[in-house]
Amino acid sequence: MLSEASLSPHDPAAVQAQAATLAARVAGLDGSALLEAVLRSELAGQIALVSSFGTESAVLLALAAEIEPAVPVLFLDTGKLFGETRRYRDQLAARLGLTDVRTLKPEPSDVAALDPDDMLFHRDADACCHFRKVLPLERALAAFTAWISGRKRYHGATRAELPVIEVDRAWIKINPLVNWSRERIEAEFQRRGLPAHPLEADGFLSVGCLPCSTRVSPGTEDIRAGRWAGKDKTECGIHRPAAGVAGDETVRTAA
């Protein structure tokens, strides 16, 4: 077991070694079994779950809450979210018994300096995502060694070949639902009686910021087709495409 000091997110070499060890230990696991293995490992107290409280988020949150309701849940409020998403966050947190949901926001000084007219999303969506999402998350993750993501391979694009365990800069990233299908997610919603995101019934199958999310046609369009529609953009920037293999074959290092 690595010491707490050696697992600092500022020590990429130690994090890389720990990721390879962890990947070997959880090989073949997913969902609850994988979450339990990591939340009760030496990473306990050094791991956060990052959630958008979007249309599929309730499943991962429910699985984590059953194992450790006090796991820190990091929620990025960009200042441009749908009100429905904020209310859904509160509803799910209360229903699932999550006790440490942390809302992250961009620095007011960044908003004033970088987006004074509130239209940066139109001029440069990447720059808007960077200061509203990437920077607040990186500040929050400085206190952690690892974080849990709800991404899945069936989302396609840069997610089609996601590993279960990856290293993103100096953090271990865990993807417990990477192999889950849309059908399996829907079945778990029904089995648990989880509430749907209120915008899903209105055609929003993936919900981000209000100006950059549109409705999609179920069954004929990719679930994330409504995100940044018409732009050559598929990710906000908090996730980086895997760019190589390090150690165990299930560990990839993001560029």
Report the catalytic residues: 236
In whole angstroms, give the CA distance from residue 242 to residue 208: 22
Sheet holding 47-50, edge to edge: 101-104, 73-76, 47-50, 146-148, 171-174, 165-168, 251-254, 242-245
Residue 146: which H helix or E strand, with range? strand 146-148
Name the residue among 255, 224, 225 with its Cα closest to residue 240. Answer: 255
Query: Are 148 and 171 in contact, with CB atoms under 8 Å apart?
Result: no
In whole angstroms, give the CA distance from residue 59 to residue 82: 20
User: How many other C-beta atoms lie within 10 A of the C-beta of residue 158?
Assistant: 14
Query: Are 134 and 241 in contact, with CB atoms under 8 Å apart?
Result: no
Give the CB-side neighbour count of residue 133, counting CA atoms within 13 A. 20
Report helix, strand or coil for 244: strand
Tokens in use for 211? 């100006």
